[in-house]
Structure 1
């Protein structure tokens, strides 16, 4: 028999039993040693790598390791959550002021190192920067990594999402990857917590909780707490109250399940557990089929299945009937998995090249889109018609005719970026600044608009003549 006990409200055990020292962090001994060496490099000077990225799945001890590091070295912690838009300005403030003040007091004042202790800046959820909208945050982080006199730790679940918008983070940070602790390490932690709480927990229940959470230590501790609450003893059958937890699949693990197994059931379940849309994931499969399948017949069967999945996705987009997603998923998962007849050595899966190119050209495409929208509104037509049929001619006139350029910029209120793109110049070039200044003067003195316009046209002719004139060194 077991007894139900009345207990006071329990504090979060994940916080209560958070490691106080790096030696208490479960698993990841190699990552912990690497983190300790990086922190030691701050003892006598500012190291070349002023930041460190702790990357890995959620709940495996990244934040705990960062806080334990600060405790071991006697550093004061300044912790911010990057996914909160309210913290964007705080990051910018540190980036702008961190080069002048080497540390800062608890009230926010910046001090020299002689006046204050060293502070550890922890930026949690850095891969989800300000709600996945870039409000200049990536640039702010790059600046703080370049200028800071204080150690910085960026914590990320997805390393690619953090580094894809700025190569500076990889250059200026030591990358430390955290792995999921194995079940035995999690069992040891859970057993120790139960002992400290004075609760008897069946060994089968502890092992079930550890295996159920697949290395997520935080979720394991939370599950143990929910089992123990109100009980003095936890039996094996009590684990049924936990129910089922749907755990997100890593995209590379899902690819491995599709390309490395011949089980339709396993491939299908893996795709359904993946937190990505079929339209996005099909690009990953398409890119990796020719890299992984060696036999031309296997490759042909796989692409045939993928083409059928694409047909279903096209119908979803056209009819807005998302029930067809399941058919597309079956063809993507089972069709591609069952297409392989031979056995291949496991290679490395790559990020889709098409997505890389689209990401790099996003700024250009957005500029063309904004220009086309303004021209379309002016001409009473759609932006699609402008970008498809009118844009080349519009850009040619804008480049070659100063009168057209001046009038259109004033009428459509083009930005520096849009003007620079249309001229084929940088947005901070002299040509762009001159045009913006002329329009600004006209708007402030409309009565002198004709004279200002004439003055701009003369300057433009002189600029072109000067640009075309050869120097003596060119002969």
Structure 2
């Protein structure tokens, strides 16, 4: 798919989607994140007067629906600049970025000379959702990139080399660059993520957009209602905004839906009616979810927060297991750990039957357990961590290589290995969870290499211990485990009666 070159939309044109109709046309029309907007204004002013800032790019990070992409488009429209946009649906490998963004960043767009009128001569380059770029930050040679752009048969596929070319763009651009992402950690990758983060942030400034507060949400709702000629009661407005977690896009969608069912005047019954039939999937990022749950004193609130998290129950359980060690004292941790084990057993039932209640209990048990040990909500800040064994599970070529090997050996899909087995494999190789790097039994039985073993432990081949581990792999032998004979006994029957079933919760 080709990149999008956007021009100003004809305002007289009828637009049926209110999120587009009321998308701000300039920065002053945006609500919320005022401190962040002021930093961006100053950065844009430098470009406007012909100065190239020390950091040629800005990385806007934050949850969906808070105005990151809108900001970039509003800035270009306000300044009269052309905007070139590469979004998640476009190819964003090294050749694609080189042919569109990097080359465009070196020249003045011809669009700036339309109708004989020279504009300020800038082309704003928008790279949307850069956290969806896969692969590492390695670069592809100029020769290979040039051949890829000229010959279809040698074309680079997917996102290969995209992050490396992104760094090149940030180093050489003569035009302003705005990148957006929901999860900057996903952009950094998992191996050497700190080094990758530093490489990007040496060349760009990260500005974190937060969810929009109630005051700004009400201003937007009132403004749109007035323009559409729709009345809205104060109580209805309070409930509408109270049900919103700071997502501008969802607020405008709600208003548009209410304008249809209300008949021209929105009251509290209309809002409650819509809430009853349409529970929007508004997700809260995992760090915020965990903190809210740990601080919650109400089991119903904890369950609702868990459901609205942007992670599924399996991943949330891993996050709880890791962060419980940080939040709770030893005695408290012992009590909570039993509940974590029970939740893990509940989630495991999805492999043996279709008891979808396992997800319900897998979500509920960790959330309830997390609020029990603390007699009162902690006043001090809770410091939460990103589980190391999950960090190594996303987007790295080494992980993809291991997943592919295992999937072929087990004759199953790569997606099932990635979703079900991979997090467990990383956890059992995590030193902080009791793993010993000198124990190579599991990796040998899976017929993985020494390099794979090092990767699973998060160890670089340049580390001092790597050589001794590689020697173990060359010399180590694993004894064959005799096949167990399945002899059913009375004791077995008794043990089976203790097997976990969801019926125990009925």
| TM-score range for the pair, normalised by the shorter chain length | 0.5 to 0.7
Whether the 8 Å CA contact 1:95–1:143 is kept in 2: the answer is: no
Q: How much has 1:317 moved relative to structure 2?
A: 4.0
* Residue 121 (1) aligns with residue 155 (2): no
- Give the secondary-structure state (helix, strand or coil) at the position aligned to 1:339: coil
- 2:361 corresponding residue in structure 1: 327
Q: RMSD across aligned C-alpha pairs, in angstroms?
A: 3.8
Rg (Cα) greater in structure: 1
- Give the secondary-structure state (helix, strand or coil) at the position aligned to 1:223: helix
**Among 139, 151, 175, the residue aligned to 2:176:** 151
- Tell me the distance in 1 between the aligned counterparts of 2:260 and 2:15: 8
Q: How much has 1:224 moved relative to structure 2?
A: 1.6
Q: How much has 1:129 moved relative to structure 2?
A: 3.3
Residue pairs, 1:122-271, within 5 angstroms: 122-129=126-133, 134-164=159-189, 166-167=196-197, 168-229=199-260, 231-243=263-275, 244-271=279-306
- Give the secondary-structure state (helix, strand or coil) at the position aligned to 2:326: helix
Q: How much has 1:161 moved relative to structure 2?
A: 2.1
Higher deviation after alignment, 44-53 or 314-323: 314-323
- Tell me the distance in 1 between the aligned counterparts of 2:258 and 2:384: 40
* Residue 348 (1) aligns with residue 348 (2): no
Q: How much has 1:261 moved relative to structure 2?
A: 2.5
Determine which structure has greater relative contact order: mean sequence separation of CA pairs < 8 Å that are 6+ residues apart, divided by chain length. 2
- 1:45 corresponding residue in structure 2: 51
- Give the secondary-structure state (helix, strand or coil) at the position aligned to 2:167: helix
* Cα gap change, 1:35 to 1:276, in 2 (>3 Å): same
- Give the secondary-structure state (helix, strand or coil) at the position aligned to 1:239: helix
- Tell me the distance in 2 between the aligned counterparts of 1:196 and 1:115: 32
- Give the secondary-structure state (helix, strand or coil) at the position aligned to 2:84: strand
Residue pairs, 1:274-293, within 5 angstroms: 274-293=309-328
Q: How much has 1:241 moved relative to structure 2?
A: 4.3
**Among 76, 80, 90, the residue aligned to 2:82:** 76
Whether the 8 Å CA contact 1:98–1:144 is kept in 2: the answer is: no
- 1:110 corresponding residue in structure 2: none
Whether the 8 Å CA contact 2:56–2:177 is kept in 1: the answer is: yes
Q: How much has 1:105 moved relative to structure 2?
A: 3.3
Q: How much has 1:74 moved relative to structure 2?
A: 2.8
In structure 1, runs of 5+ residues without a counterpart are 1-7, 108-113, 378-383, 396-423, 426-475
Q: How much has 1:201 moved relative to structure 2?
A: 2.9
Q: How much has 1:77 moved relative to structure 2?
A: 1.4
* Cα gap change, 1:322 to 1:49, in 2 (>3 Å): same
* Cα gap change, 1:105 to 1:270, in 2 (>3 Å): same
- Tell me the distance in 1 between the aligned counterparts of 2:17 and 2:394: 41
Q: How much has 1:246 moved relative to structure 2?
A: 3.2
Which structure shows the bigger proportion of residues in helix conformation? 1
What's the CA shift string for 1:147-206, capped at 9, x where partnerless? 221111112222222333643333321111112222121211221222223333333333
* Cα gap change, 1:134 to 1:307, in 2 (>3 Å): farther
* Cα gap change, 1:263 to 1:209, in 2 (>3 Å): closer
* Cα gap change, 1:221 to 1:321, in 2 (>3 Å): closer
What's the CA shift string for 1:359-400, capped at 9, x where partnerless? 59x5445556767999999xxxxxx9995386679x9xxxxx
Whether the 8 Å CA contact 1:305–1:332 is kept in 2: the answer is: yes
Q: How much has 1:131 moved relative to structure 2?
A: 12
Whether the 8 Å CA contact 1:103–1:116 is kept in 2: the answer is: no
* Cα gap change, 1:97 to 1:387, in 2 (>3 Å): farther
TM-score, structure 2 as length reference: 0.64
What's the CA shift string for 1:323-352, capped at 9, x where partnerless? 323333232121232133476433211101
Count of paired positions: 374
Whether the 8 Å CA contact 1:145–1:172 is kept in 2: the answer is: yes
Whether the 8 Å CA contact 1:54–1:177 is kept in 2: the answer is: yes
Q: How much has 1:96 moved relative to structure 2?
A: 5.2
TM-score, structure 1 as length reference: 0.68
Whether the 8 Å CA contact 2:314–2:362 is kept in 1: the answer is: no
- 1:337 corresponding residue in structure 2: 371
- Tell me the distance in 1 between the aligned counterparts of 2:343 and 2:51: 57
* Cα gap change, 1:240 to 1:316, in 2 (>3 Å): closer
Q: How much has 1:121 moved relative to structure 2?
A: 0.8
- Give the secondary-structure state (helix, strand or coil) at the position aligned to 2:86: strand
In structure 2, runs of 5+ residues without a counterpart are 1-12, 113-117, 137-157, 191-195, 412-440, 453-465, 468-506
- Give the secondary-structure state (helix, strand or coil) at the position aligned to 2:385: coil
**Among 420, 445, 459, the residue aligned to 1:388:** 445
- Give the secondary-structure state (helix, strand or coil) at the position aligned to 1:346: coil
Q: How much has 1:85 moved relative to structure 2?
A: 4.1
